[in-house]
């Protein structure tokens, strides 16, 4: 069965964005981009909430075409165009692409159906609201967290309204020179 892995940058105090959704505190560099590229290159499906999907759609399809495109932009743009995308949204109705699936109702049934299909892990990128919904439905199978060396004090937390304990097993960690630490967990169900 395929797994859904939540990929998030997080502050030391557990926030995935500032109070107004700001993400200017997130540290990324070529070292992190290269590390992430190796992992996502092994994935065939990306999942997003509506807001994150619209943000991605506004940039990644043409990022490689820009005259000053970085190595990361070229590689990630190519991956983004090829990967199957799942969008969790009640307001996005349809797509013209066979590479995008919109889920706007029967979330648990449709996600479980996708998890039973052949394929690799599904990476849920950012998307705090979608992540919260999937956690509450016990549909997240792992967390790939990039802990940034900052305490925000307030913002959008990763974990909200948790009804049951989530037991995790740490698979590995990676320390980056910019102070970010990657933590890779799977859930123990």
**Residue-wise pLDDT tens digits, 110-159:** 999 999 999 999 999 988 999 999 999 999 999 999 999 999 999 999 99
In CATH, which of 3.20.20.140, 3.40.50.12280, 3.40.430.10, 3.40.50.11270 is domain 4-141? 3.40.430.10
Residues 6+ apart with CB under 8 A from 22: 155
As a whole number of Å, the end-to-end CA separation of the chain is 14
Higher local confidence (pLDDT), 168 or 105: 168
What does the pLDDT look like over 67-115, one tens digit per residue?
Answer: 999 999 999 999 999 999 999 988 876 665 678 999 988 999 999 999 9
Residues 140, 117 contacting (CB under 8 angstroms):
no
Q: How far apart are CA 161 and CA 154, in angstroms?
A: 16
Residues in the chain: 189
Q: By C-alpha distance, which of 74, 38, 80 is closest to 55?
A: 80
Largest CA distance in the chain: 49
Domain boundaries, the chain: 4-141
Q: By C-alpha distance, which of 122, 129, 137, 116 is closest to 45?
A: 122
pLDDT at 95: 63
Q: How many alpha carbons fall within 13 Å on the CB side of residue 126? A: 16
């Amino acid at each position: 069965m395929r797994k859904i892995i939540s990929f998030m940058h997080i502050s030391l105090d557990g926030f995935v964005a500032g109070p107004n959704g700001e993400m200017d505190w997130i540290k990324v560099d070529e070292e992190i981009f290269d590390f992430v590229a190796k992992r996502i290159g092994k994935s065939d499906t990306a999942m997003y909430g509506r807001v994150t999907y619209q943000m991605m759609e506004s940039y990644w399809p043409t990022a490689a075409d820009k005259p000053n495109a970085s190595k990361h932009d070229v590689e990630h743009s190519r991956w983004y165009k090829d990967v199957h995308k799942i969008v969790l949204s009640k307001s996005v109705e349809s797509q013209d692409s066979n590479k995008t699936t919109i889920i706007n109702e029967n979330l648990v049934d449709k996600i479980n159906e996708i998890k039973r299909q052949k394929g690799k892990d599904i990476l849920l990128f950012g998307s705090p609201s979608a992540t919260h919904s999937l956690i509450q439905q016990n549909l997240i199978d792992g967390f790939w967290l990039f802990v940034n060396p900052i305490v925000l004090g307030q913002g959008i937390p990763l974990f909200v309204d948790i009804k049951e304990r989530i037991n995790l097993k740490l698979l590995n960690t990676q320390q980056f020179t910019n102070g970010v630490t990657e933590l890779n967990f799977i859930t123990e169900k």
